Structure 1
Amino acid sequence: MRIMHLGFETHVLGEATAPSVRSGDGLFIISNSGTSPISTSFARIARAQSATVALLTSTPNSP
């Protein structure tokens, strides 16, 4: 929600109204381990579409 307040169009991945991730989009993932199957799957899909992926994790060597 805070990113929306900065003037960016935002969506929650997996919501019924969210559009598909595409080139030029950014995906921000917060994951303690950085290895949860849903997070890594979303990251792979986003990278395959040339979207930018940012990860916030407590595990420095996560994939």
Structure 2
Amino acid sequence: MEAKLAHDWILDVLRDLQSYSMQNGLTELAERVEALLPVAEAEITARAMDPDTPVH
């Protein structure tokens, strides 16, 4: 799972972006980031399980 840890920083960035967006009335951006978080988590997890997983 070392690969997952190497990419976890991007989840922190997305959460920060979502928080900033919500605090500053950027609701569409906040909603899009909210929808993106599970996608990012799934891809990072898949990549950690199989480093040969294609990136698209």
Q: TM-score, normalised on structure 1?
A: 0.30
Higher share of residues assigned helix = 2
Higher share of residues assigned strand = 1
Higher relative contact order (CA 8 A, sep 6+): 2
